[in-house]
Structure 1
Amino acid sequence: MASMNHLAEDLIFQILSWLPVLSLLRCKSVCKSWKSIISNPKFIQAHLAISQKKQHPFSTLRVVSRSDESQDLFMDTLGENSVKLSLPRYISDVRAQLLIRSCNGLVILGDIFFVFLYIWNPLMRMDKLLPLAHYARLGVVNKIGFGFDPLSSDYKILRVVFGRLSDLLDNGEKKEGMVAELYSFNANSWKPIQVPKEMQGFKFDPISECVCVDSRVLCLPGTDGILSFDLQDEVFRMHKYPASGEIISEVLDFEGSIALILRSGERASVLTLWALDEVDGNLWWTEKFNIEPAKRIAYVLIYLGDGKFNCCTRSLSCMLLL
């Protein structure tokens, strides 16, 4: 009987490991044994490995503000109903805007000023308050990026501060510029990251967010190009925009490459997707394809995979299928 129970649990483990995250959240409520299986770190690793190999439904996190200034967090997946996530009590009680970044099922939560940050695992219902970054209260604008370094098997958070750096200089010199810090989950600490002098004058886009491409390259859009940071070699790189035209998309993760959509042509009638591809060890912008119907699309928000884009017209949001 013991061997039969073991076999049944092993089969359940295998079946559950192929389900999307939303279904797993529901399955945790079925019985104690299923909850125990899903909460096991070995199951989390197995589920992540399978998810990275298959074409699974795209999931998004959605914040809904309530009348009492607090917020609810939902997970939406194509083809499934939304699931409300149970935030940790001390986070849900804070009446401040939630900062959300996610990678491999882990979520970064924090306040609007990016001072206090938490790593949260909704599936295992575990959370961790991060140590305070050295530059947490300095600068005018902050950008946060979150990704995974497969080389060191480490989750890392990049924090970039733009603004007056007088408080960081021992000689009292007044200076405008950019500083960066990197948090390592394995080390549970922050360390400074060198920003090259030629990138100190980078003119960032204050509206756009830091986008993670291929789970490990963090991208900050600017007025003249994209500033990227690779979590493996921990080096900043600058990429000028590919061609003339109006950029009408966020930085996109297009099949593991940094990508953008530009509007050009007579009467701005052509939408083209450009991607940074590696050629002979160098990155070059490559024109991939045009998108139709161009005139109806005002802005492209994200690439969902499998030829699908989430975009909006001037009046509403929609999903574009290629």
Structure 2
Amino acid sequence: MDETGGECVYRDKWYEVECAENVLVNILSRLPIKSILVCKSICKHWNWLISSQAFIDEQLLRSRKNSFYIVYPFMDVLMELFFVDNNGEIDKRLSFPYCENFSPITIICSFDGLLCCMNYPWKADSGRVVDDEIDLEIRICNPVTKKALLIPRGSLSNEKPSIGVAFGPKINEYKIFRFFSAKFISLAKHPSRNSRQCEVYSSSTGSWSVIGRVPYCPMHSSHSPLGSNHVFVNGKIYWFIALDEDPLIPGSILTVDLDETFGTINLPGDVTEHSYLVNLKGCLSLVSVHDEDEIMNIWILDSRNEPKWELKCRDIVPFSNDECAEFVVAMENDLFVITSSQYHIYDSEYRFWRELYLPRMFETNFPVAFTYTESLLSCGGRIDPTIEYISQRSI
């Protein structure tokens, strides 16, 4: 009798917890994301709650405090992602769940658990990659939920397009800015006409809109044949613009905000071929590695009034000039620096280097890294409140 009574009290108490949704959200949002996905199958009410935008937002806010790095080799044969912590420990590895019949895929950026990827379409009947008449494919992917969204095809381009992704103002809203060379303009017949244009895809509308001609286009990145080095910081996207004299060296910075307003920023007179734009603790920063001197400079942009660069620190790198810096990404005060065969974490606050020992298979596969936060965000943008309400009523 006591056992039965105790069980009834337990069930009553748990029923009170389930009815108080804010309490249940607080509990479930603290679980590892793999456990959260399992909890969706417990009952319809839990499935609805975990699928709601309010829960997704709450889980993301907690998850942001435990970000790590996502590292991947150039995906030609090995289609895997590696989750790496600050100590260089591989937490887990995931097979890319949307890569069947893909040509080599390139990750362009990572934000709040979503990855933006690009690849050439694969023509199944010919067994080859098509790169002439068909445009690059763009996908927004969530590796932990194993979901992906193929973005509608953009305008035809005479050259490889460059893109950048802006997120906000709400959680899980984004815009994709795509720079292309208009295919209908013949520069041979009209050499004075500017064919460089920009269009933007909005997750709110699910379609592209053409902005029109732009004076500058982002320079292509040396580490990625399909991408461009860009970073999203405080509501703006930043790309390098190549020097007129040398397409491999940045000459200035191109910016665009969520209102689709473009601008440019001058660079300090300290830029090399191995320079990277990063988000260093919420500030746009420039990392410039001088191979000959084996020196790394870190500049911070002070944009409170007129944009002004300030030298944060200058330090000796722990690798020789034969080991060029191939990729740099930031997380809080740390820089993850990848060279031809080495991996280092640099603490910019205490000016301390740590070498990481990752699998040797990365050394020949052009690895890149991004900061990563596990989330349940939808690849298509925010959940429609009307649909969410209808789903609730149908339970």
1:183-235 Cα shifts (integer Å, max 9, x gaps): 000011111124444x3xx5724526242222642222233334433332212
In structure 2, do the counterparts of structure 1 residues 6 and 189 end up closer, same or farther at CA, with 3 Å as the change threshold?
A: farther
Q: Does 1:138 align with 2:148?
A: no
In structure 2, do the counterparts of structure 1 residues 195 and 219 end up closer, same or farther at CA, with 3 Å as the change threshold?
A: farther
Q: For residues 308-319 of structure 1, what are the structure 2 equivalents within 5 Å?
A: 308-313=334-339, 315-319=341-345
**Residue aligned with 1:141, SS:** coil
1:50 maps to 62
2:262 maps to 236
In structure 2, do the counterparts of structure 1 residues 294 and 284 end up closer, same or farther at CA, with 3 Å as the change threshold?
A: farther
Contact 2:326 2:340 survives alignment (8 Å): no
Distance 1:4 1:304 in 2: 43
Q: For residues 82-93 of structure 1, what are the structure 2 equivalents within 5 Å?
A: 82-85=92-95, 87=97, 91-93=98-100
Contact 2:238 2:254 survives alignment (8 Å): yes
* More strand per residue: 1
Amino acid in structure 1 at the alignment position of 2:81 = F
**Residue aligned with 1:46, SS:** helix
1:234-266 Cα shifts (integer Å, max 9, x gaps): 12222222113535332111222222123469x
Unaligned regions of 5+ residues in structure 1, if any? none
1:301 maps to 327
Q: CA deviation at 1:48?
A: 2.2
State which of 313, 316, 327 in structure 2 corresponds to 1:289: 313
Distance 2:195 2:79 in 1: 36
Q: CA deviation at 1:167?
A: 0.8
Distance 1:83 1:152 in 2: 26
In structure 2, do the counterparts of structure 1 residues 179 and 116 end up closer, same or farther at CA, with 3 Å as the change threshold?
A: same
Q: For residues 114-263 of structure 1, what are the structure 2 equivalents within 5 Å?
A: 115-133=136-154, 135=155, 137-150=156-169, 154-162=173-181, 165=182, 167-168=184-185, 173-174=190-191, 175=193, 177-197=195-215, 199=216, 204-207=219-222, 209-214=228-233, 216-224=235-243, 225-246=251-272, 248-263=274-289
Distance 2:54 2:328 in 1: 31
In structure 2, do the counterparts of structure 1 residues 31 and 192 end up closer, same or farther at CA, with 3 Å as the change threshold?
A: closer
Q: CA deviation at 1:155?
A: 0.9
Amino acid in structure 2 at the alignment position of 1:33 = I
In structure 2, do the counterparts of structure 1 residues 235 and 138 end up closer, same or farther at CA, with 3 Å as the change threshold?
A: same
Q: Does 1:25 align with 2:46?
A: no
Distance 1:250 1:318 in 2: 15
1:62 maps to 72
Amino acid in structure 2 at the alignment position of 1:49 = L
Number of paired residues? 302
2:388 maps to none
Give identity over the alignment, percent. 17
1:67-122 Cα shifts (integer Å, max 9, x gaps): xx5x52324141552231561xxx42223122323322222334236533233333
Distance 2:145 2:214 in 1: 40
Distance 2:336 2:138 in 1: 28
2:385 maps to none
Q: CA deviation at 1:132?
A: 1.8
Distance 2:165 2:256 in 1: 11
Q: CA deviation at 1:271?
A: 2.4
Contact 1:217 1:228 survives alignment (8 Å): no
In structure 2, do the counterparts of structure 1 residues 303 and 18 end up closer, same or farther at CA, with 3 Å as the change threshold?
A: farther
CA RMSD of aligned residues (A): 3.6
Select the structure of larger CA radius of gyration.
2
Contact 2:324 2:339 survives alignment (8 Å): yes
Unaligned regions of 5+ residues in structure 2, if any? 1-10, 121-130, 244-250, 352-395
In structure 2, do the counterparts of structure 1 residues 188 and 285 end up closer, same or farther at CA, with 3 Å as the change threshold?
A: same
Distance 1:39 1:5 in 2: 20
2:110 maps to 102
